[in-house]
Amino acid sequence: MTDTFRAILVSRDDDKKQSVDFVDMREDELMEGDVTVAVEATTVNYKDGLAITGMAPVVRRWPMVPGIDLAGTVVSSDHPDWQNGDRVILNGWGVGETHYGAYAGRARLKGDWLVRLPSSLSARDAMAVGTAGYTAMLCVMALERHGIEPARGPVIVTGAAGGVGSVAISLLSRLGYHVIASTGRTAEADYLRDLGAAEILDRAELSSPAKPIGKERWAGGVDAVGSHTLANVLSMTSYGGAVAACGLAGGMDLPTSVAPFILRGVCLLGIDSVMAPRALREEAWRRLAGELDHDKLATLSTTIGFEDIPAAARDIVEGKIRGRVVVEM
């Protein structure tokens, strides 16, 4: 008899009505790839929330096993870089969108997509970071490449109590930045200060239409929200500053003007984690392993079971999840 494993399958009927089911799956039902991984931990990102609820067209092949992130152990490999027993991380590459993803006991993947799990991180740690945290690191690296050092002045993090925001605050404060955390959940001020925020800003201050240019308040920032929030962040960025934009939790639009760019030389740094080249991913994970405070990782993450994924998916798109969620298989 062939071994089966549990999986979540999202399907669509002829009327494009979406359903989410727990199913038993066999390895021969997985999609093509040259490495098979036993999934030990996964997570629920904002994008996973969109995929499971169907609120945005994340899934582009039906049916689909969602889940864009996993950590686990290689159980078979035809790829020269990977052997049985290797511990690996997978983030993005269309997994959980067009290729069967992380919400299953096994995943068959392309070896070129995998990053070695740093020895100082457990599978759980890696998923407490997940795509949200790895993207936060990509944002920090982009700000650094642009010369935004702590001495340049404060940096703002929007969507602060979310996944990207929580990890970005932890990383930036550890690196010595004065971090302003913008949140709609001011009741989470203590949590954000524990992570390293020096100041809390009510996100309402950034949610109205932006002036072309505002008072210079920060040297740069990490924006997970988009729309008016990002427009306000740009208009209040000081001369020569830079903002790393990675998210759209507040909207996909960007109602701004060219004023911050042409009058203050502000740069908007676009961050994509999904198709980021392998060398950049390896650098981000090497730095996360070395620089992310383990106590803060514990503070910002909670653990749920596999069967709790659909509920967490609904909660994250409603902005109800604080920090990061780890799913232990």
- Reported in sequence order, the residue ranges of the chain that DSSP labels E, i.e. its strands, are 4-12, 18-26, 35-43, 69-77, 87-91, 106-109, 115-116, 155-158, 179-183, 199-202, 218-223, 237-245, 267-270, 301-305, 324-328
Q: Does 96 participate in binding ligand NDP (rule CB under 6 A)?
A: no
Residue pair 266/214 in contact (Cβ under 8 Å)? The answer is: no
Distance CA 50, CA 35 (A): 27
Query: Least distance (Å) from ligand NDP to the CB of residue 1?
Result: 39
Query: Least distance (Å) from ligand NDP to the CB of residue 28?
Result: 32
Q: Does 225 participate in binding ligand NDP (rule CB under 6 A)?
A: yes
Site for ligand NDP in 232-261 (CB under 6 A): 246-250
Give the contact letters, 9-48, x = binds to ligand NDP (CB under 6 A), - = no.
------------------------------------xxx-
Distance CA 139, CA 160 (A): 14
Q: Kindly give, in sequence order, each residue whose CB lies less than 8 Å from that of residue 62, ignoring residues fewer than 6 positions away.
A: 10, 11, 12
Q: Does 133 participate in binding ligand NDP (rule CB under 6 A)?
A: no
Instruction: Assess whether the previous peptide bond of 154 is cis (omega < 30° from 0).
Output: no
Nearer to ligand NDP, 25 or 155 (CB): 155
Distance CA 218, CA 156 (A): 7
Stretch that binds ligand NDP, among 18-26, 81-89, 149-157, 313-321 (CB under 6 A): 313-321
Query: Least distance (Å) from ligand NDP to the CB of residue 272?
Result: 5
Nearer to ligand NDP, 30 or 160 (CB): 160
Q: Does 79 participate in binding ligand NDP (rule CB under 6 A)?
A: no
* Binder of ligand NDP out of 72, 154, 163, 241 (CB under 6 A): 163
Q: Does 297 participate in binding ligand NDP (rule CB under 6 A)?
A: no
Q: Does 131 participate in binding ligand NDP (rule CB under 6 A)?
A: yes
Distance CA 260, CA 238 (A): 9
Q: Does 280 participate in binding ligand NDP (rule CB under 6 A)?
A: no
Q: How far is CA 106 from CA 7, 30, 65, 86, 121, in A?
A: 8, 8, 11, 15, 21
Query: Least distance (Å) from ligand NDP to the CB of residue 185?
Result: 4
Which residues share a beta bridge with 88?
A: 72, 116
Distance CA 164, CA 166 (A): 6
Nearer to ligand NDP, 140 or 224 (CB): 224
Site for ligand NDP in 184-213 (CB under 6 A): 184-185, 203
Residue pair 192/159 in contact (Cβ under 8 Å)? The answer is: no
Residue 152 DSSP label: G
Q: Does 316 participate in binding ligand NDP (rule CB under 6 A)?
A: yes
- Could you tell me how many residues of this chain bind ligand NDP (CB under 6 A)? 32
Query: For residue 14, which phi and psi values (nearest 5 degrees)?
Result: -60, -25
Site residues (vs ligand NDP, CB under 6 A): 45-47, 131-132, 135, 159-165, 183-185, 203, 224-225, 229, 246-250, 271-274, 316, 319, 321
